[in-house]
A and B are shown apart, each in its own frame.
Chain A
């Protein structure tokens, strides 16, 4: 149930992200759309790692080692999503730097006016 919910939500965000990437003209909005897209993917990843009635895979008093199996969510997708988020941040930072440089050279933020290279 939760997996399905998260995946539907994630898929919706991915679509919104693609829509933004394909229709927004402002390059910063495009960058934001990519962030939305990324978030959607991360949601799906988290959703896929969910195990029915699972809690965080961390050992403490309530969750001794013996109880772990069957009661915690899958740690692998959590680990992957962590990496994916950091990579997303890195790409976003680079995109924003590009946006700054494009603005200084082209004096515009519209992607439609940044097309001197073609054919």
Chain B
């Protein structure tokens, strides 16, 4: 009890100190100078309709590459932790006997699977035009595979395919970055391809390409994560 009181006091203290950050934060009237530039010139410079994408993939492209690396490292970590030859026992003793999916689930999932794949691909291919992008698309694709696991929990995915997709898309992403360094203005510069007309699918230089690669990479990584967690249980 005393412990709780101390925790409460500490949290109250923390909120008290940080009050200047939480109170009197009115809506900003206008954009910061930096984002003003992005908004007014971004479309012209990069040819993206979705300016968030312009920021994510180009202006702050190094963040995104880092973000991909974070996810990659986390996937590697999950695999390392939950890999096959482990000293610890299994957790299966916690679980009841597994049941197969119900009729409803099986049919629904089978129906949804191709749709989800298509939807995910749509999201990352259109990342420069509409809300969404590589990460979102990748997650949707991974969710399609999670659905498959609902139907059949010991379904095996081809690891070599997953690994190859993951590795090659990642490497291709880096390669595009380097092409930017060699043939355009800088690392990750998408403008070595023509920027085209705003609003078209084939526009914004290499951004759709980058987002597609990210989509594939994220999708295959998340499938890998879910798969590792499943194998362990």
Contacts and interface: CB of A to CB of B under 8 A. Distances in A.
B51 A58 contact: yes
Nearest to B10: A22
Interface stretch (B56-64, B149-157, B163-171, B182-190): B56-64
A4 B49 contact: no
Contacts of A15: 11, 15
B229 to A, nearest CB: 7
A81 to B, nearest CB: 10
A103 B55 contact: no
A97 B89 contact: no
Given A59-B49, A104-B86, A104-B88, A75 B30 contact: no
Interface residues of B, number: 67
Interface in B64-96: 64, 66-67, 70-71, 73-75, 77-78, 81-82, 86-91, 94
Contact of A11 (B22, B63, B74, B86): B22
Interface string A91-110: 10110111011011100000
Given A69-B40, A75-B55, A83 B63 contact: yes
B113 interface: no
Contacts of A50: 27-28
Nearest to B93: A107
Contacts of A69: 31, 36, 39-40
B4 interface: yes
Interface string B169-193: 0000000000000000000000000
B102 interface: no
B225 interface: yes
**Interface range, A side:** 35 or more
A57 B91 CA distance: 47
Contact of A89 (B11, B18, B23, B71): B71
A51 B49 contact: no
Contacts of B24: 4
Contacts of B44: 65
A111 interface: no
The prevalent SS among residues of A at the interface is: helix
Contact of B30 (A60, A70, A91, A103): A70
A37 B18 CA distance: 16
A104 B83 CA distance: 13
A101 B32 contact: no
B88 A79 contact: no
Interface of A: 1-4, 7-8, 11, 15, 18-19, 22-23, 47-48, 50-52, 56-60, 65, 68-70, 72, 74-76, 78-80, 82-83, 85-87, 89-91, 93-94, 96-98, 100-101, 103-105
Interface of B: 4, 7, 11, 14-15, 18, 22-32, 34-36, 38-40, 42-44, 49-52, 54-56, 60, 63-64, 66-67, 70-71, 73-75, 77-78, 81-82, 86-91, 94, 129-131, 133, 135, 198-199, 218, 225, 228-229, 232-233
Q: Which 8 A-B pairs have the closest CB atoms?
A: A104-B88, A90-B74, A57-B51, A79-B55, A97-B81, A59-B49, A52-B27, A79-B56
18 contacts: A3-B26, A4-B23, A22-B11, A52-B27, A52-B29, A57-B52, A58-B49, A72-B31, A74-B32, A75-B51, A75-B52, A76-B32, A82-B56, A90-B73, A94-B74, A94-B77, A98-B81, A101-B82
